[in-house]
Amino acid sequence: MLTFGSGPTLTGGPRNWEEVGRWYAPLERDRAAPDDSIRVKAEELTRGRGTDLEKIEALYDFVATKVHTVSLPFGIGSYQPHPASEILANEYGDPKDKHTLLEALLEAQGIHAFPALIPSARDPDPDLPSPGQFNHMITVIPQGADGKDWLWFDTSTEVAPFRMLAPSLRGKRALIVPISAPGAASKPGTPLLVTTPADPPSFQVQNIDVTGQVDEHGKLTARIHYAMTGDNALTLRMAFRHTPESSWKQLGQLLASGDGFSGEVSAVKSGDPSDTHKPFEVDYEISQASFADWSRKILQLRLPLPTLGIPEPGEPPDGQVKPLKLGSPLEIHVHATIELPAGYVPRAPVPVSMSRDFATYQSNYSVKGTIVEAKRDLVFRQREISGDLIADYSAFARAARADEAQLVPVEPSPGAIMPNSSK
């Protein structure tokens, strides 16, 4: 992260955000000027890309995934980036360096991008103009009549998909600093505070598949497969990119525990975190020795499915019902097939189907011989639940959680020879 705690200061303090922006612009302007090495690299990376958007994506992918992010005090104090050609040659840089390289590569293709100063924690106070409110830099390409079509990038995460900002940077004010290239005839625009997008550029989807068997001793072995996009996928991409493979088992154990799975995790695998053009995938195996107690005549079996984490509105301390923030819209799809040993007859739980304007929930269960199949689908459509809908949402959440708690009745087959229940 940038550390804006030292470096040049504005004499007498800035009177407005425009002064802050105009103070910063000269520190970055010359550093983002493309030279021959930048032009050659930009041409190489965009060869065969027909549209500006395709070119932007190719250049973003390179800077994000191939130039390593570091945190070092560069340049004048901590404000000024290195020259773009130097960053390209070294293949590392801090966030402001990586923005500068991306800006230069884009400029070499006739595409104008600007730095956006932003805090990584709380939203800046709009009434206190100061560079000290910022500790991070991202990239913006303004386009269209309003901000909804603007392109935002944070190359420092290394593995964020194209146009995706981390949750801590979304819905937050950023100071855009329009900078004209050296020698350009046009004057730069006016620096201004703009709010970043509240949601990811595409809908968040999580697909979780569970394939398991329970043996005659009651031991469960299962393979868990995740394929996901969105915020949780970004968190996992970063975790697997920065964790040595020898420690992936610990990551798998944390993921399993967070989703409510019990047992010993093994065989943890992941997709390539830097392949951001497809959903991120994680696989692991889990075993639980005492999953089923076959000594019981009738067994109520809890299916090994992940918890959906449905938010519950708390009791307002002042008695005032307040909106419940759910975050960006999200789809979760869970599918499981669990095979029981011969000699047992499972019965399917009752399916559930609910639909509201704010969310939908559906479950379905079936039995084929000794195989139990379960499907659960949860879709959150809105960012928050208004106060007047809290009671309806609470009933929806209770019903969904009650379905999650349903058990599968299992009985011995008539006349069957029971498996040995000893471990």
Q: For 108-154, how does the pLDDT look when each residue is reduced to its tens digit (9 = 90+)? A: 999 999 999 999 888 999 999 998 889 899 999 988 766 778 999 99
Q: What's the whole-number average pLDDT of the chain?
A: 89
Radius of gyration of the chain from its Cα atoms, rounded to whole angstroms:
27
Q: Say if residues 334 and 376 touch (Cβ distance below 8 Å).
A: yes
Q: CA separation (Å) from 137 to 46, 88, 126, 156, 196?
A: 24, 18, 17, 9, 12
pLDDT value, residue 180:
59
Average pLDDT score over residue span 284-306: 92
For residue 375, pLDDT beyond 60: yes
pLDDT value, residue 80:
86
pLDDT value, residue 151:
96
Domain ranges of the chain: 17-195, 204-412
Q: Which of 18-27, 53-62, 378-387 has the lowest mean pLDDT?
A: 18-27
For residue 41, pLDDT beyond 90: yes
Quote the CA–CA distance of 117 and 101 in Å, as a whole number: 16
pLDDT value, residue 400:
97
- Beta-bridged to residue 376, according to DSSP, are 334, 363
For residue 297, pLDDT beyond 90: no
Average pLDDT score over residue span 84-97: 95
| The amino acid at 166 | A
pLDDT value, residue 315:
74
Which residue reads 């509240």 in tokens? 198
Task: Say how many C-beta atoms besides its own lie within 10 A of residue 159's C-beta.
Answer: 22
Residue from 418, 288, 423 nearest 341 by CA: 418
pTM: 0.88
Average pLDDT score over residue span 158-165: 96
Say how many Å lie between the first and final Cα of the chain, rounded: 53
pLDDT value, residue 76:
46
Average pLDDT score over residue span 1-13: 48
Among residues of the chain, what percentage have pLDDT more than 90?
A: 75
pLDDT value, residue 73:
45
Contacts of residue 276, Cβ cutoff 8 Å, sequence gap at least 6: 61, 64, 65, 159, 160, 161, 162, 237
For residue 415, pLDDT beyond 80: no
Quote the CA–CA distance of 346 and 300 in Å, as a whole number: 9
Helix/strand/coil (H/E/C) assignment for every residue in 108-127 = HCCCCCEEEEECCCCCCCCC
CATH topology for 204-412 is: Jelly Rolls (2.60.120)
- Encoding tokens for residue 157? 């995460």
Q: For 202-259, how does the pLDDT look when each residue is reduced to its tens digit (9 = 90+)? A: 999 999 999 999 999 999 999 999 999 999 999 999 999 999 999 999 999 999 999 9
Q: Say if residues 418 and 412 touch (Cβ distance below 8 Å).
A: yes
17-195 sits in which CATH class? alpha beta
